[in-house]
A and B are shown apart, each in its own frame.
Chain A
Amino acid sequence: MTFLATRRAVTAGLALSPLFAPSVLRAQGEPIRLGTLMPLTGAGGPYGPSMRKAVEGVVESVNSAGGIGGRRIQLYGEDSQTNPDAAVRAARKLIDVDRVSAIMGTWASAVTTAVAPLAWESRTMLFTVSGADSITQLPHRGYIIRTQPNSTLQITKLSEFLGQQGAKRIFILAAQTPFALSNKEILEREMPKYGGQVLGQTIYDREKTVFRSEVDQALRARPDYIFLNGYTPDVTILLRELFRAGWTGGKVAPAYAINQRLLDSLPADVTNGAVTWAPSPDIESPAFKRLQALLGTNDPDPYSCQTNDHAALAALAIAKAGAATGDAIRENVRKIAQGAGERVTEVTEGLRLLAAGREINYAGASGACDFTDNGDILTCPFRYEQAEGAKLKTIRIS
């Protein structure tokens, strides 16, 4: 009998404990259910935990400010294991058992594409950080919002930058990748807007150790800028061979190719002047500074900045709609993320303004969070850097 009495006491204690919590924590009504599906194990494992923390931060601040219309947010989470098969089962659980109205933070493109049909069939909103162009082209009827710039936006931004640098004749040396051809087509479409043109592209095998003939082909076209669309190992060799060939014109590559490791492995003479570009969080934003404090790092990764915004967007859309369904989020997310409303970078401030009947325009750590009709972001900040004395110097962020 002692055991039974103890158990009863424990149960009673658990049941009473919310009564002793501060009153703001006791938001009334059925909780609002949101889900995360992040890569906590597998290839995306290094990113998932901080992406999740960025979401938890938003949920905590909403709940401690009294919830949304008096309703707390209940956060559910599953591990996508960076694997479409496991992710589909996890998404089933989030949708059918936890009945979440939004799934946030899918990372790998294959995971997002596999989960997407479940989301739109069950009218659940899907917020993703995957970059593949094909995702927003799915027949998702508005149930997908993507905060990661797709490759079209990335190349469009590169063209804009090259145009401003006065580049007229561009040659591309590209590694054999799924995006090599589509990147060239976008650059060919964009450059004429700035009076430039793409002279040609040579696609090479990344595993090769000598690129002499590729470099010769590039130089024969007499370009003024060479776009090295590859990865660190092959771009290292290409830069060295361009230097040997006496190349003094412009060279540009993605920031993941020309990184500090590359700069350390080559003499500064070889890398000086090389330009990189990459999507960047909005580092001037107060939301970014709050996220720095929340995650305890000066340099939160772009995915965490994006999931931070996913949670804020979902919360604000629910507040705007006054209903916590996937449909409510889908129909209201653009009303709180863009337009003529008051600019807001913090979720509880947005909730307060919405409660007062005002219009808002949310912009978060990842950028302006303005979306096209098919769910892509309209624009986001990009960071342009230039190698100088084996260090990258920021030219500008815009």
Chain B
Amino acid sequence: MENYLVAMAVFAGLYGLMALGLNVIWGMTGMINLGLVGFMAVGAYTSALLTVRHAHWPMWAGVIAATIVSGIAGAVVARITARLKGDYLAIVTLGFSEVVRLVASNEIRFTNGTDGISAIPGPFRGEVAPATFNLIYLGIVAAALLVVYLLCQRLRHSPYGRVLRAIRDDDQVTSVAGKPVLRFKTEAFAIGAAITGFAGALYGHYNAYIAPEGFVPLITIYIVLSLTAGGTGTNAGAVVGAALVVAFMEGTRFVVAEIPGLAAVQVAAVREFMIAALLILVLRYRPQGLFPERHARHATPDTTP
């Protein structure tokens, strides 16, 4: 049981990292990104290709390269979609993630196609017991999450973060105030994508195996749900929301197992229903998420003569 809880904490941490990445892009800057899993795939593949398939770099180098490459991919996507907003941006980014998946499926010589890449190294994997490996990895993910969280907090409370939120609320006003909106948007997208790619690389090294089928929009939905449930715009919300989504997904396994008289397929269906119902309940009673953004309000000056 402990081993399982540790493994789920690792998943929650990795989802939390991706939710922090999405928070920079969507929560702070207001760009809807449904292609998150594409950046995760770019990160996971970059590190896997460099540490096992095409070269044998040390893991830390692979993870750093993954962060940089996915950041560049984010900047490129941001530039291409510079004129798009709202639903249009959402569709194009969703398309981006599908393109990444299809390239990974079809560039067989480069990515090993649908067979995926296995035997991706993990720190001390095979040298220590599986339970110890899990604990080591939890330590790594927790440290990574803490560092990224603090960086995101710094970003959010800096003047830079204020510009991002100004763009989110009204990019024309921001532009009139003399801020280079396109540059800020590109940078925010690149930062968010880099964090997501970083999480993707850690995901690959943890699971030891990645394949195109693993990077389907389902994961994007998990992350969007995490951020929505936690509170769009706040970093604490992103992390707590991810933990909550994993807790819902895993906790329901034990609840449905207690319902007597259900066939296996009904158990699976009831479980999905319960996850959905729990999330709906959270958003019904906390529409702004568990940790909504607090706005510092200044008293409106009295303009009556």
Question: Which A residues contact B (CB, under 8 angstroms)?
Answer: 36, 38, 40-41, 48-49, 52, 56, 77-79, 81, 83-86, 88-90, 92-93, 95-97, 108-110, 113-114, 116-118, 121-122, 132, 134, 138-139, 178
- Taken together as a complex, chains A and B put the C-alpha atoms of A301 and B151 apart, in Å, by 54
Q: B55 at interface (Cβ–Cβ under 8 A)?
A: no
Q: Kindly provide the distance from the CB of A123 to the nearest chain B CB, expressed in whole angstroms.
A: 9
Q: B172 at interface (Cβ–Cβ under 8 A)?
A: no
Which of A79, A90, A132 has its CB near the most chain B CB atoms (within 10 A)?
A: A79
Residue in A48, A93, A97, A108 whose beta carbon sits within 8 Å of that of B213 in the complex: A108
- Per DSSP, chain A at the interface is helix
Q: B119 at interface (Cβ–Cβ under 8 A)?
A: yes
Chain B 83-117 residues near chain A, CB threshold 8 A: 108, 113-116
Q: Which of B3-11, B67-75, B155-163 contacts A (4 or more CB under 8 A)?
A: B3-11
> Can you show 30 pairs from A to B with CB atoms below 8 A apart?
A40-B264, A48-B268, A52-B263, A52-B265, A77-B264, A79-B264, A83-B218, A84-B213, A86-B218, A89-B7, A89-B8, A93-B253, A96-B1, A109-B115, A110-B114, A110-B211, A110-B212, A110-B213, A113-B115, A113-B116, A114-B209, A114-B211, A114-B214, A116-B118, A116-B209, A117-B208, A117-B209, A132-B115, A138-B118, A178-B115
Q: Kindly provide the distance from the CB of B127 to the nearest chain A CB, expressed in whole angstroms.
A: 12
Contact flag A89-B213 (CB < 8 Å), given A38-B264, A40-B265, A83-B218: no
Q: B214–A110 contact, CB under 8 A?
A: yes
Q: Which residues does chain A contribute within 8 Å of B2, judged by CB atoms?
A: 96
Q: A48–B8 contact, CB under 8 A?
A: no
Q: Kindly provide the distance from the CB of A146 to the nearest chain B CB, expressed in whole angstroms.
A: 15
Contact flag A79-B271 (CB < 8 Å), given A110-B213, A113-B118: yes
Mark contacts of B258-301 with chain A using CB atoms, 8 A cut-off: 1 yes-contact digit, 0 otherwise: 00000111011101100000000000000000000000000000
Q: B250 at interface (Cβ–Cβ under 8 A)?
A: yes
Q: A92–B264 contact, CB under 8 A?
A: no
Q: Which residues does chain A contribute within 8 Å of B263, judged by CB atoms?
A: 49, 52
Closest to A52 in B: B264
Q: A85–B214 contact, CB under 8 A?
A: yes
- Per DSSP, chain B at the interface is helix
Q: Which residues does chain A contribute within 8 Å of B253, judged by CB atoms?
A: 78, 90, 93
- Taken together as a complex, chains A and B put the C-alpha atoms of A110 and B264 apart, in Å, by 22
Residue in A41, A77, A83, A116 whose beta carbon sits within 8 Å of that of B214 in the complex: A83
Q: A85–B218 contact, CB under 8 A?
A: yes
Q: Which residues does chain B contribute within 8 Å of A86, judged by CB atoms?
A: 218
Q: Which residues does chain B contribute within 8 Å of A92, judged by CB atoms?
A: 3-4, 7-8
Give 15 new A-B contacts, CB below 8 A, not counting A40-B268, A48-B265, A134-B115: A49-B265, A86-B218, A89-B7, A89-B250, A92-B4, A96-B4, A97-B4, A113-B211, A114-B116, A114-B207, A114-B209, A114-B214, A118-B130, A139-B119, A178-B114
- Taken together as a complex, chains A and B put the C-alpha atoms of A287 and B72 apart, in Å, by 58
- Taken together as a complex, chains A and B put the C-alpha atoms of A116 and B211 apart, in Å, by 13
Q: B135 at interface (Cβ–Cβ under 8 A)?
A: no
Q: Kindly provide the distance from the CB of A97 to the nearest chain B CB, expressed in whole angstroms.
A: 5
- Taken together as a complex, chains A and B put the C-alpha atoms of A6 and B108 apart, in Å, by 64
- Taken together as a complex, chains A and B put the C-alpha atoms of A85 and B271 apart, in Å, by 17
Q: B249 at interface (Cβ–Cβ under 8 A)?
A: yes
Residue in B1, B8, B213, B271 whose beta carbon sits within 8 Å of that of A83 in the complex: B213
Contact flag A109-B114 (CB < 8 Å), given A49-B263, A93-B253, A114-B207: yes
- Taken together as a complex, chains A and B put the C-alpha atoms of A180 and B186 apart, in Å, by 42
Q: Kindly provide the distance from the CB of A132 to the nearest chain B CB, expressed in whole angstroms.
A: 6
Q: Which residues does chain A contribute within 8 Å of B212, judged by CB atoms?
A: 110
Closest to B219 in A: A85
Residue in B250, B264, B272 whose beta carbon sits within 8 Å of that of A36 in the complex: B264
Q: Kindly provide the distance from the CB of B210 to the nearest chain A CB, expressed in whole angstroms.
A: 8
Q: Which residues does chain B contribute within 8 Å of A138, judged by CB atoms?
A: 118-119
Q: Which residues does chain B contribute within 8 Å of A36, judged by CB atoms?
A: 264
- Taken together as a complex, chains A and B put the C-alpha atoms of A256 and B184 apart, in Å, by 53
- Taken together as a complex, chains A and B put the C-alpha atoms of A83 and B222 apart, in Å, by 13
- Taken together as a complex, chains A and B put the C-alpha atoms of A78 and B272 apart, in Å, by 12
Q: Which residues does chain A contribute within 8 Å of B249, judged by CB atoms?
A: 89
- Taken together as a complex, chains A and B put the C-alpha atoms of A77 and B267 apart, in Å, by 9
- Taken together as a complex, chains A and B put the C-alpha atoms of A90 and B208 apart, in Å, by 16
Q: Which residues does chain B contribute within 8 Å of A41, judged by CB atoms?
A: 268-269, 272
Mark contacts of B184-228 with chain A using CB atoms, 8 A cut-off: 1 yes-contact digit, 0 otherwise: 000000000000000000000001110111101011000000000
Q: Which residues does chain B contribute within 8 Å of A79, judged by CB atoms?
A: 264, 267-268, 271
- Taken together as a complex, chains A and B put the C-alpha atoms of A323 and B118 apart, in Å, by 31
Considering the complex of A and B, which 9 residue pairs feature the smallest CB-CB distances, nearest first? Answer: A96-B4, A40-B268, A79-B268, A110-B213, A49-B265, A84-B214, A110-B211, A96-B3, A52-B264
Closest to A88 in B: B207
Chain B 237-265 residues near chain A, CB threshold 8 A: 249-250, 253, 263-265
- Taken together as a complex, chains A and B put the C-alpha atoms of A77 and B262 apart, in Å, by 12
Q: B130–A122 contact, CB under 8 A?
A: yes
Closest to A43 in B: B213
Q: Kindly provide the distance from the CB of A347 to the nearest chain B CB, expressed in whole angstroms.
A: 20
Q: Kindly provide the distance from the CB of B12 to the nearest chain A CB, expressed in whole angstroms.
A: 11
Closest to B120 in A: A117
Closest to A39 in B: B268
- Taken together as a complex, chains A and B put the C-alpha atoms of A83 and B207 apart, in Å, by 14
Q: Which residues does chain B contribute within 8 Å of A40, judged by CB atoms?
A: 264-265, 267-269
Chain B 1-59 residues near chain A, CB threshold 8 A: 1-4, 7-8, 11
